[in-house]
Amino acid sequence: MAEVDGKLMVLQFDNVAIVGRTTGSMNSTADMLDATTADSAGWKEFVAGEKNLTLSVGGLYDPDAAEGVSEALANLWQGNTLTWKFGQTGTGQTYWTGTGLLSSVSIQGDKNTLTSYSIEIQNTGTPEELTVSGS
């Protein structure tokens, strides 16, 4: 069984990797449309509706990082549409890409912990699954 170390999964927007990452996820969902009728024999029936995809990343906040939370905040405030990539970076490995908007950027500074951040991206349009090409 093939396994991928979670630290090898990278989230980028506009070809810049988010630094200080400790967590990352891509969540895809589909609306379920109720198709139940009197002929459904007492069981609900559904058909798939519109799809949705969101990406989340969290990590340790570094205000001096070359790319990170400050750039994410600027893009959120400006409402910029970004190209995102999520996956592995080695030649022949799989990643997903699409366009999206930053839907939230959060900085947390709790007592007696390192300051952390979280960023969420809302995909817009159809994402693609691709393979990293050789250099």
pLDDT, tens digit (0-9, with 9 covering 90-100), for 14-73: 777 787 888 889 999 999 999 999 999 999 999 999 999 999 999 898 888 766 788 889
40 found inside a domain: no
Nearest to 69 by CA among 26, 112, 118, 23: 118
CATH number at residue 23: 2.40.30
111 found inside a domain: yes
75 found inside a domain: yes
**pLDDT value of position 66:** 60
122 found inside a domain: yes
Q: What is the pTM assigned to this prediction?
A: 0.82
Q: Please give the tally of structural domains in the chain.
A: 1
Q: Which amino acid is at 135?
A: S
**pLDDT value of position 70:** 84
24 found inside a domain: yes
What's the CA gap between 11 and 86, in Å, rounded? 5
- Domain housing 60: 6-32+45-131
49 found inside a domain: yes
Q: Which amino acid is at 87?
A: G
97 token code pair: 């890409």
